[in-house]
A and B are shown apart, each in its own frame.
Chain A
Amino acid sequence: MHSLKDKIAVIAQLQQDILLLEGFKPPANGIGVDVGLEPIKDAFPNAVFPTAAVHEFLSTSIEQGAATAGFVGGILGKLMQQEGVCIWISSTQMLFPPALKTFGIAPHRIIFIKLNRERDILWAMEEALKCEKLAAVVAELQEINLTASRRLQLAVEKSRVTGFILRHQPRSLGNTSCVSRWRITPISSSLDDDMPGVGFPRWKVELLKIRNGRPGTWQMEWSAKQFHIISERRAAPLQELLLKRG
């Protein structure tokens, strides 16, 4: 007769098998690429941020778009270690390269591709994702359908490149074969001891969907070239102070 422990082991094994079938290979040496998202690793399958996959980011306003670019920049900075090269495909040149340095990226190692039509962007992204020597590919798109996203998924499974799709004001969300769906919203920053001025970038990070993981919402801050989760405790005294003053 099987004990409960055995059953748990069997189920864990089966889950691993499913992950493998879905293209999630466990990191070869036990350690995945560290993208700096340690604080929320429990949300991810195998407790590792899925590289060699395509991630989808949603934004509705320009401000959200900027926050998304910042968040993706933080991940890219870690992916682009050791002379990595990233390709950033978009229809408008709005990214300001000098700002990327704050997110740990050497801006001259990003190659920008400016294309006007959505289908051209998709084509370029697929071609770029097939290139193994790239660290990551980012595309700013509005719409992507299931077929297109599947093609991208097939490309990354072969080349092990990480892809990011930044969707600005998508008309329909629909189903995609992207591994995750995020929404990053800026929230008000704060400085220690209630000092005046603007603090480090802070975002509400919503992981809306993640295949084989646990979606969730966190408040994060980018400081000292790292992601930090803002603990509620740290924010609380400030609120009280404000209340007292008010």
Chain B
Amino acid sequence: MQRFVSIWFKHLTTDWFTLRRPDLRDIAFVLAAPQHGRMVVTAANPIAEAQGITEGMVVADARAIFPSLEVLDDKPELTIALLRLLAEWCLRYTPISAIDPSDGLVLNSSGCTHLWGGEEPYLKEILVRLRNKGYHARAAMADTIGTAWAVARFGQVKAIIPPGEQATALLPLPPAALRIEPAMVQRLHKLGLYRIGHIINMPQSVLRRRFGPDLLLRLSQALGKEEEALEPIRPVLPYQERLPCLEPIVTATGLEIALKKLLDVLCLRLQQEGKGLRAAAFMGYRVDGKLERIEIGTNRASHHSEHIFKLFEQKIAQIEPALGIELFILEADKVEELSPLQETLWAENGGLGATEVAELLDRLAGKWGENCIHRYLPAEHYWPERSIKRASSLLEKPGIPWRTARPRPIRLLAKPEAITVTAPIPDYPPMLFRYQGKLHPIKKADGPERIAHEWWLEGGEHRDYYEVEDEEGQRYWLFRSGHYDAEKNNKWFIHGFFA
């Protein structure tokens, strides 16, 4: 035999607003949302309702009834979010708790009530707790969801319907208690059927012909003749592990052992679910109430406990245990899917996809930050400073091939440095140049290679690059900025060194 509890929150959203803003407790206010260009009341608090303001009323009409009415903007999705939270909270009373849109919860409390000393204390406990929180809640318990629902909303006498007495409990209730559509309720009312008792004994064929199968279904569900499925909420278990300690931990070795234990458990779970973590935090609650926290991140999702331990190990020194840490928590903040198939593929190739390389980079990034690691890809620019770009990820492949048509120096100065040259003929390489106080007579030269600014990016003079070799066989990359002009002294620069 099953027992169900239905909880009805009559003023769910307004109660929530009142909780957030205690000043709303004693005034009439409504929540409103735009609908067809008008502001329509979506919820009214008990005080406003006492003034005759109901859901679905236009705000202007409501203001006409009660001029000092406070109107707040409704938040869409708030109801469902609140119900979900409340359903999760209700998991303390039963393992099966479900949302009953749009204003209630259904709990399957079969076999749970004895833990609270019976059904009455059980229901009372739930209601008292909810009311103490500030919610207007009503609840009922019965053998079927339908009856519990009906009694919670329309019941007058008692909230707990003894097993097998659904029919008696339903008799005095209005047809609306059967969870049927308002249009059908109106039709029943029109025909003078104001009580469920009026229809409960009618022949089924008659009811089906007049009102369709829906009414019959609801009726038999409420009476327990038809099974009704419940869709319980499944709370997402956070990727978190806890380790309480009998004695406060003070030493680094102790911290490491705690971390290792937590990591093993967490990584096992991640592995079983085919996931890997991208970011994790290790926290220690100190005896004096302070919280110590270290964080790590990885380049690729990983559930390799040794690797993650190494990342944390670099930061363990940052934890200050002081008088000792009594509770450790390991939390994976960011978890991603990990494809095991791909992993084996990468392991075979080695290369940039190798897990070991990613792990090495994680360790380096953990110690000095992400910014110390660079990888370059060719960019579609001739201007030397723009011809390479930073790769955004470890696995990004070059979109265009590397250019090798023109010689490029192996060492490039971050900024070209000015040099003094002697250039005999226009557009010829210089005869000698002076760089850092040393004179370099030029023996061989190639060039010029003219590289112009990309005008759509940046303006400026073009550069005429020469590859030159001096007496000693040292090779340089020089350029003249702009056209040769005898009158204005052309500026020459050194930009790189060839191998």
Q: Are A and B associated in one complex?
A: yes
Q: Which residues of A contact B (CB under 8 A)?
A: 61-63, 65-67, 69-71, 73, 82-85, 87, 92-103, 106-115, 120, 123-124, 127-128, 131-134, 185-189, 196-199, 201-203, 222
Question: Is A98 a contact of B403 with CB atoms below 8 Å?
Answer: yes
| Distance in Å: Cβ of B279 to nearest Cβ of chain A | 21
**CB-defined contacts of B467 to chain A, threshold 8 Å:** 198
Question: Is A114 a contact of B351 with CB atoms below 8 Å?
Answer: no
Which residues of B from 387 to 430 have beta carbons under 8 Å from A? 387-388, 391, 397-398, 402-404, 407-414
| Distance in Å: Cβ of B363 to nearest Cβ of chain A | 6
Flag whether B375 is at the interface (Cβ < 8 A): yes
Question: Is B404 a contact of A198 with CB atoms below 8 Å?
Answer: no
**CB-defined contacts of B446 to chain A, threshold 8 Å:** 197-198
Alpha-carbon separation in the docked complex, A133 to B471 (Å): 43
Alpha-carbon separation in the docked complex, A187 to B351 (Å): 35
**CB-defined contacts of A101 to chain B, threshold 8 Å:** 402-404
Question: Is B414 a contact of A94 with CB atoms below 8 Å?
Answer: yes
Please pick, from A63, A84, A95, A201, the residue contacting B350 in the complex, using a CB distance under 8 A: A84
**CB-defined contacts of B411 to chain A, threshold 8 Å:** 62, 65-66, 69, 94-96
**CB-defined contacts of A73 to chain B, threshold 8 Å:** 410, 499
Question: Is B410 a contact of A108 with CB atoms below 8 Å?
Answer: no
Residue among A85, A196, A202 with the highest chain B CB neighbour number at 10 A: A85
**CB-defined contacts of A69 to chain B, threshold 8 Å:** 410-411, 499
Please pick, from B354, B376, B402, the residue contacting A133 in the complex, using a CB distance under 8 A: B354
Flag whether B474 is at the interface (Cβ < 8 A): yes
Which residues of B from 156 to 189 have beta carbons under 8 Å from A? none
Flag whether B262 is at the interface (Cβ < 8 A): no
Question: Is A111 a contact of B444 with CB atoms below 8 Å?
Answer: no
Question: Is A98 a contact of B408 with CB atoms below 8 Å?
Answer: yes
Closest chain B residue to A114 by CB distance?
B372
Question: Is B475 a contact of A114 with CB atoms below 8 Å?
Answer: no
Question: Is A99 a contact of B397 with CB atoms below 8 Å?
Answer: no
Alpha-carbon separation in the docked complex, A138 to B410 (Å): 15
Flag whether B496 is at the interface (Cβ < 8 A): yes
| Distance in Å: Cβ of B128 to nearest Cβ of chain A | 60
**CB-defined contacts of B409 to chain A, threshold 8 Å:** 66, 96, 99
List the 6 closest pairs (A to B, CB-CB), nearest first: A70-B499, A188-B473, A83-B351, A66-B497, A96-B412, A133-B354
**CB-defined contacts of B356 to chain A, threshold 8 Å:** 131-133
Flag whether B335 is at the interface (Cβ < 8 A): no
Question: Is B388 a contact of A97 with CB atoms below 8 Å?
Answer: yes
Question: Is A63 a contact of B497 with CB atoms below 8 Å?
Answer: yes
| Distance in Å: Cβ of B327 to nearest Cβ of chain A | 32
**CB-defined contacts of B471 to chain A, threshold 8 Å:** 188
The contact sample of 6 A-B pairs, CB cut-off 8 A, is A61-B474, A73-B410, A110-B376, A111-B373, A115-B372, A133-B351
| Distance in Å: Cβ of B253 to nearest Cβ of chain A | 22
Q: Which residues of B contact A (CB under 8 A)?
A: 349-352, 354, 356-357, 359-361, 363-364, 367-368, 372-378, 384, 387-388, 391, 397-398, 402-404, 407-414, 443-446, 467-469, 471-475, 496-499
Question: Is B475 a contact of A131 with CB atoms below 8 Å?
Answer: no
Question: Is A197 a contact of B403 with CB atoms below 8 Å?
Answer: no
Residue among B374, B375, B378, B475 with the highest chain A CB neighbour number at 10 A: B475
| Distance in Å: Cβ of A159 to nearest Cβ of chain B | 10
Question: Is A93 a contact of B414 with CB atoms below 8 Å?
Answer: yes
Please pick, from B364, B387, B412, B469, the residue contacting A94 in the complex, using a CB distance under 8 A: B412
Question: Is B444 a contact of A188 with CB atoms below 8 Å?
Answer: yes
Closest chain A residue to B347 by CB distance?
A133
Please pick, from A62, A98, A111, the residue contacting B361 in the complex, using a CB distance under 8 A: A111
**CB-defined contacts of B378 to chain A, threshold 8 Å:** 98, 107-108
Alpha-carbon separation in the docked complex, A110 to B444 (Å): 32
Please pick, from A102, A108, A115, A132, the residue contacting B391 in the complex, using a CB distance under 8 A: A108
Given A96-B410, A102-B408, A111-B357, 10 other A-B residues pairs in contact with their CB atoms under 8 A: A61-B474, A63-B497, A65-B411, A98-B404, A111-B375, A115-B368, A120-B367, A131-B357, A131-B359, A185-B473
Residue among A63, A94, A101, A201 with the highest chain B CB neighbour number at 10 A: A63
| Distance in Å: Cβ of B496 to nearest Cβ of chain A | 6
**CB-defined contacts of A222 to chain B, threshold 8 Å:** 499
Please pick, from A87, A97, A115, A199, the residue contacting B376 in the complex, using a CB distance under 8 A: A97
Given contacts A63-B474, A132-B356, A186-B474, contact A112 B376 (CB under 8 A): yes
Given contacts A113-B373, A120-B368, contact A189 B473 (CB under 8 A): yes
Alpha-carbon separation in the docked complex, A44 to B414 (Å): 37
